């Protein structure tokens, strides 16, 4: 074989078939010592599956794996760990009622002389060290349920790093992080690379890949398309290989907001989380909300949607003061809310694509409480086609879809309701470029139809790319507002981090 000596890992001719889907079709993938090797591809291309095969979670139907030029059988996650492979999973999988420290060392707890007893002091001391490597200043004795999702993601990173691994797989670690944490993570990755550790890195953010990766492998529909050195390839090339066609402008931006106010918020305050928030949203406008993690953007959306109560403030819809006490009422007033945590708060994982998409409109499609299933089927198929949702059929369980396709299913559910105002909380988290472009087009089209859109996002390019106006939130207060013409990354970052624009 070709220069096998250089490779720490080579996965040869891997085939993995799920019922109805060939997730990996004869994929060969090799990684060198001490490189950062990016893995890209559309949602459902097979990236996670390939890495799960490596981590002993999925067993391949055929193919072999060489580690340090030796053929290995990786039957279980435990075996993978002992072979020096650790993985950060795409879906957050911490245990909610254990502490941060317990989660980091789960299964590998430092113990006392007698092996059964945990040395708590040592565990928490080591955990503290792991966290500080990531610039995280949280008490390792905090329960995981009590920390926000971004910090949970960093705990996952700490967990993977704490295994002294030769190969670290990172499956979309930055999808729940903002720039600050991402920078920290990259610093740590470079440091690991210098120590000769190989990192396999999956991301849908191409700019990150150009920043951090040495080489990049593209997968499409379960096939290996190419592996190239990063300097030999352009962003457009990668996109082309991923989606198999030329992609047009990522941010279409055609519509113009109307002058009619559809939603107005006055003086919204809630405990320490939200402080005197006021803003308005016009018909056909895309209002971006930016801010650091934990700034309170999600809290704001939840308050608007009637999930959490708030202490003061008034909400107007089409000029009428309204009280929204539950999501049901919010929906009946024409609000829609795509939550940031799709698995916990959005999807019915055990149910089918059809059921997930149509759950909110069953009533409209029923007579005497009995839905017309054929109409629901047509409706679902329309969305599958329109949004390019990758699923073998409408009866596939949503849990078997790739993350990006799950997100599209959820968006489809909200589109069904024809909302007046649609709140999107991190709508492109974990979504491939092709799908992102589709979602942006969709947002633009919705705005064109007169829907007011609130778009919460931690990705600055996206906020800048599609918003008509942006407000920045910091520690529960609005610290800046910019029209499309005034927008720049620097201005937003400054408002988000320090609370205002320095004149300097």
Partner 1 sequence: MKKSEKINGYGERFGLIIAFFIMIITISFLSDRFLTLPNILNILRQSSINGIIAVGMTMVILTAGIDLSVGSILGLTAVITADLLHSGIPVFLAILLGLLLGFCIGFVNGLLITKFKIPPFIATLGMMTLARGLAFTYTQGKPITGLNESFRVIGTGMIGSIPLPVIIAALVFFLGYLFLKRSRHGENIYALGNNETAAEFSGIPVKRYISLVYALSGFLSALAGMILIGRLDSAQPIIGQGYEFDAIAAVVVGGTSFTGGHGSVWGTLIGVLIIAVINNGLNLLDVSSFYEQVVKGVVIAIALLLHRLAQKKN
Partner 2 sequence: MNLKETDIKDFLRRYSVAMILLIMVISLSLFSWRFLRPANLINISLQTSIVAIVAIGMTFTILTGGIDLSVGSVMALCGALASGCIVRNGFPIYTAILLALIIGVGIGFLNGLLIVKGNIPPFVATLAVMAISRGLTLVYTQGRPISGMGDDFVYWGSGKIGVLPVPVIILFIIFLISYIILRHTRFGLHIYAIGGNEETARLAGINNDKSKIFVYMISSFTAALAGILLTARLWSAQPNAGVGLELEAIAATVLGGTSLMGGYGGTGGTVVGAFIMGVLANGLNLLEITADYQRVIKGIIFILAVMFDIYTKKEKKKG
Q: What stretch of H or E contains 10?
A: strand 7-18
350 binds partner 1 (CB under 8 A): yes
Name the residue nearer to Mg ion (CB basis): 35 or 171: 171
Size of the site for partner 2 (CB under 8 A): 25
Report the alpha-carbon distance of residue 482 to residue 464 in Å, rounded.
10
List the interface residues with partner 2, window 114-133 (CB under 8 A): 115-118, 120
Our finding on whether 493 is near partner 2 (CB under 8 A) is no
Selected binder of partner 1 within 6, 132, 332, 418 (CB under 8 A): 332
Measured from the CB of residue 302, what is the shortest distance to partner 1 in angstroms? 10
Q: Which does 400 bind (CB under 5 to 8 A by kind): partner 2, ligand ATP, partner 1, none?
A: ligand ATP
Residues 6+ apart with CB under 8 A from 121: none
Query: Of 166, 152, 17, nearest to 80 (Cα)?
Result: 166
Min CB(416)–partner 1 separation in Å: 10
Stretch near partner 1 under the rule CB under 8 A, chosen from 38-46, 325-333, 443-451, 477-485? 325-333
Contact assessment for residue 24 and residue 51, using Cβ atoms and an 8 Å cutoff: no
Enumerate the β-bridge partners of residue 421.
335, 452
371 binds partner 1 (CB under 8 A): yes
Q: Provide DSSP, 177-230.
A: --HHHHHHHHHHHHHHHHTT-EEEEE-S-HHHHHHH-SEEEEEETTEEEEEEEG
Please report how close the Cβ of residue 90 comes to Mg ion at its closest, in angstroms. 5
How many residues make contact with partner 1 (CB under 8 A)?
A: 34
DSSP result, 427-473: TTTT--HHHHHHHHHHHHHHHHTT-EEEEE-S-HHHHHHH-SEEEEE
Interaction between residue 375 and partner 1 (CB under 8 A) = no
Instruction: DSSP letter for 480, please.
Output: E
Residue with smaller CB distance to Mg ion, 202 or 443: 202
**Binding-site member from 27, 29, 44, 48 for Mg ion (CB under 5 A):** 48
Question: Can you give 353-412 as a three-state secondary structure string?
Answer: HHHHHHHHHCHHHEECCEECHHHHHHHHHHHHHHCCCCCCCCCCEHHHCCHHHHHHHHHH
Told to check if 115 binds partner 1 by CB under 8 A, we report no
Please say which residue, 147 or 283, places its beta carbon nearer to ligand ATP: 147
The reply on whether position 81 binds partner 2 by CB under 8 A is yes
Using CB under 8 A as the binding rule, whether residue 57 contacts partner 2 is answered as yes
Pick one of 151, 175, 290, 352: the residue that binds partner 1 (CB under 8 A). Answer: 352
Residue 158 has φ and ψ, to the nearest 5°, of -60, -40
- Chosen residue from 17, 349, 493, 497 binding partner 1 by CB under 8 A: 349
| Binding residues for partner 2 (CB under 8 A) | 55, 57, 76-78, 81, 87, 89, 93-98, 102, 106-109, 111, 115-118, 120
């Amino acid at each position: 074989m070709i220069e096998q000596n250089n490779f720490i890992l080579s996965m040869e001719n891997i085939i993995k078939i799920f019922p109805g889907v060939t997730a990996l079709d004869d994929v060969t993938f090799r990684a060198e010592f001490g490189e950062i090797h990016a893995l890209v591809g559309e949602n459902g291309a097979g990236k996670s599956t390939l890495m799960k095969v490596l981590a002993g979670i999925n067993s391949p139907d055929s193919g072999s794996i060489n580690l340090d030029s030796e053929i290995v059988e990786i039957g279980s996650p435990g075996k993978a760990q002992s072979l020096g492979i650790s993985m950060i999973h795409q879906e957050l999988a911490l245990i909610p009622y254990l502490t941060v420290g317990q989660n980091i060392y789960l299964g590998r707890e430092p113990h006392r002389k007698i092996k059964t007893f945990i040395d708590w002091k040592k565990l928490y001391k080591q955990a503290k060290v792991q966290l500080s490597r990531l610039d995280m200043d949280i008490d390792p004795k905090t329960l995981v349920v009590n920390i926000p999702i971004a910090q949970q993601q960093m705990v996952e990173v700490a967990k993977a790093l704490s295994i002294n691994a030769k190969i670290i797989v990172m499956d979309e670690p930055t999808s729940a992080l903002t720039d600050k944490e991402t920078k920290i993570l990259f610093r740590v990755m470079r440091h690991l690379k210098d120590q000769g550790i190989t990192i396999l890195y999956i991301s849908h953010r191409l700019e990150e890949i150009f920043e951090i990766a040495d080489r990049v492998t593209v997968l499409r529909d379960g096939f290996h398309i190419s592996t190239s050195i990063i300097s030999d390839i352009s962003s457009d090339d990668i996109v082309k290989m991923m989606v198999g066609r030329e992609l047009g402008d990522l941010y279409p931006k055609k519509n113009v907001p109307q002058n009619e106010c559809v939603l107005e918020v006055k003086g919204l305050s809630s405990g320490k989380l939200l402080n005197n928030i006021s803003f308005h949203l016009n018909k056909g406008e895309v209002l971006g909300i930016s801010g650091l993690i934990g700034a309170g953007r999600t809290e704001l959306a939840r308050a608007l949607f009637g999930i959490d109560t708030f202490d003061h403030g008034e909400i107007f819809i089409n000029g009428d003061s309204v009280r929204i006490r539950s999501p049901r009422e919010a929906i009946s007033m024409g609000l829609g809310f795509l939550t940031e945590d799709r698995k916990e708060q959005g999807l019915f994982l055990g149910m089918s694509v059809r059921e997930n998409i149509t759950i909110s409109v069953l009533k409209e499609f029923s007579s005497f409480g009995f839905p017309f299933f054929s109409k629901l089927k047509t409706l679902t198929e329309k969305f599958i086609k329109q949004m390019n949702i990758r699923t073998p059929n409408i009866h596939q369980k949503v849990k078997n879809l790739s993350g990006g396709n799950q997100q599209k299913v959820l968006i489809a559910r909200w589109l069904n309701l024809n909302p007046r105002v649609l709140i999107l909380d991190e709508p492109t988290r974990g979504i491939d470029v092709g799908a992102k472009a589709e979602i942006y087009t969709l947002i633009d089209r919705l705005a064109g139809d007169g829907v007011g859109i609130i778009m919460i996002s931690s990705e600055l390019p996206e906020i800048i790319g599609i918003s008509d106006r942006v407000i920045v939130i910091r520690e529960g207060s609005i610290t800046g507002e910019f029209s499309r013409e005034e927008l720049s990354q620097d201005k937003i970052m400054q408002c988000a981090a320090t609370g205002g624009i320095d004149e300097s």
